Amino acid sequence: MKVELDKTYGPLINGVLETGGKEFCFAAVDPATGNNLAYIRYCTESDVDRAVAAAQNAFPAWRNLGQQQRARLINLLADEIERNSERLAIIDALDVGRCVSEVRKDYLTAVRHYRYFASVVMAYEDSGREIEGGYAIARREPLGVCGQIIPWNAPAIMAAFKLAPALVAGNTVVLKPDENATLSTLELAKLINKIFPAGVMNMVTGLGEVVGAALSEHPLVRKLSFTGSTEVGRIIAGVAAKRLVPSTLELGGKSANIVFPDIEDIDAVIDNATFAAIHNNGQSCLAGTRLFVHADIADVFSEKLIASFRRVKIGSPLAEDSRVSCLVNARQGERVLDYIKLGQEEGAELLVGGARAVVAGCEHGYFIQPTILLARNEMRICQEEIFGPVLSLIIWDDYETMIAQANGTEYGLASGIYTSNLKHAMETASRLEAGSVWINRYSNITDGTAFGGYKNSGIGREFCREALNAYTQIKTITVQAELPDIWFSPL
């Protein structure tokens, strides 16, 4: 399927998709080929101000529209995304460099996410109780204008995680996509603009240090939501604290994936552990990048794991049989290669991969061979987020030491366990300091399951009913059936 793109794109503000001359734009570049796909406008602080003003003006009517009508529009958006998912997936593959077969699954997840929130909001009821002589009501009300900032690694899912709960709860939005992956989100804006009233959802494009900063600091923004690096998350959290507005942060990870010696189907575990480490080209905050394998099975497991990594097909993002494609840009590619070199300097043993691959017709791209380093948990490659197809293999034989090491990072986003022993599974799950623990299937995220991290992996939860709480605030209304007896100022 060949996709046609606009020559230039600009922000969506108050129902108008704006464009601009190339002199005020940056190029969206295909990371595999180096071809310019389109030009995208650099927004300014004044553009952010206009977008926030539009969202503020649209808020009263959108809030008063009611849950049922808002849910209906969210479902219409899900239908539109589903109809356009193939085109959007190809745009993402071109813009970000991910395998198109993988991106298609992102759009299935995104569509489910919109429909989930359109459904669950209908059961999102106010609560109340009787009090002496009356009744107390606790109402959930939207916050107002929400500023949302998303990363480049999975645009479809990231936009759905932010937009669905915020909009269905009655808030209006100003969304900033990452400058490395803007095109599919701007094409999503076209679909949104066909369905939603002007100003309900606005989008601003450009640099984080300009547009993201202006959005975070805007006095009319009543809620901040950010997905990205822990370093930037700290900045967002600081701004939110200074302004006394709530924030939701989904940040980095260095997830432990633990293999017990009692596993029954070693080949299935090998396949899932391979997927856990290198899906999305390893550019995933939840990737299982630290694999703890018990010493009793380490030799046979390592041999099979190396073979699995060697079998992974490296190819063009648009090739249907590709399982690893190119990283998002040259800077990220060099960063990953530097970490592989650093690991070896620290004493890690390179078991497979470790170099840049060349793909015919995509020579511009940074295709990194799926890489395994036999490492120790205290090494930097086991402590810092690499964001590439690089797995640290750690051998363990003492349970308490392994648990301490699994928890021994600043992060706590996700984790995995492979075992046929229920006691091992549940005891280990309870002791892991991670927001998600997946037993016998890594990245087993289903509709309505909370997603978010412990420690420096973030604040708050997404993909679940709890997200509606994050986009609303409680108002308490007490109704007294009759006035109390006179006592304060008796006649």
Per-residue pLDDT of the chain (491 residues; tens, 9 = 90+): 789 999 999 999 999 999 876 668 999 999 999 999 999 999 999 999 999 999 999 999 999 999 999 999 999 999 999 999 999 999 999 999 999 999 999 999 999 999 999 999 999 888 889 888 888 999 999 999 999 999 999 999 999 999 999 999 999 999 999 999 999 999 999 999 999 999 999 999 999 999 999 999 999 999 999 999 999 999 999 999 999 999 999 999 999 999 999 999 999 999 999 999 999 999 999 999 999 999 999 999 999 999 999 999 999 999 999 999 999 999 999 999 999 999 999 999 999 999 999 999 999 999 999 999 999 999 999 999 999 999 999 999 999 999 999 999 999 999 999 999 999 999 999 999 999 999 999 999 988 999 999 999 999 999 999 999 999 999 999 999 888 889 899 88
Q: How much is the pLDDT for 132?
A: 85
Q: How far is CA 230 from the centre of its chain?
A: 13
**Distance of alpha carbon 203 from alpha carbon 180, whole angstroms:** 15
Q: Give the whole-number percent of the chain exceeding pLDDT 70.
A: 99
Quote the pLDDT of residue 77: 98
| pLDDT of the residue at 491 | 83
Residue 230 · residue 252 · CB < 8 Å: yes
Ramachandran area for residue 476 (φ above 0: left; ψ -120 to 50: alpha; else beta): beta
Domain covering 8-251+457-476, topology: Aldehyde Dehydrogenase; Chain A, domain 1 (3.40.605)
Phi, psi of 165 (to 5 degrees): -70, -35
Are residues 252 and 285 in contact, defined by beta-carbon separation less than 8 angstroms?
A: yes
To 10 degrees, what angle do helices 155-168 and 85-96 make?
A: 130
The CATH classification of domain 256-439, taken from the options 1.10.940.10, 3.40.50.620, 1.10.287.70, 3.40.309.10: 3.40.309.10
Give the whole-angstrom CA distance, residue 258 versus residue 270.
12
13-64: per-residue pLDDT in tens? 999 999 876 668 999 999 999 999 999 999 999 999 999 999 999 999 999 9
Give residue-wise pLDDT tens across range 67-109: 999 999 999 999 999 999 999 999 999 999 999 999 999 999 9
pLDDT value at residue 208: 95
Cβ atoms 115, 191 nearer than 8 A:
no
Residues with catalytic annotation? 250, 285
Burial 336-358 (b: 16+ CB within 10 A, else e): bbebbebbeeeebeebbbbebbe
Tell whether the torsion through CA atoms of 16, 182, 471 and 47 is positive or negative: negative
| Domain edges within the chain | 8-251+457-476, 256-439
Residues in the chain: 491
Q: Which residue has the tokens 């037993």?
A: 439
What local confidence, expressed as pLDDT, does residue 21 receive?
A: 66
**C-alpha span between 215 and 255 (Å, rounded):** 31
Residue 247 forms beta bridges with which residues?
224
Q: What is the pLDDT of residue 447?
A: 84
pLDDT at 86: 97
Distance CA(209)–CA(452), nearest Å, equals 25
94: closest CA among 183, 155, 188? 183
Cβ atoms of 393 and 373 closer than 8 Å? yes
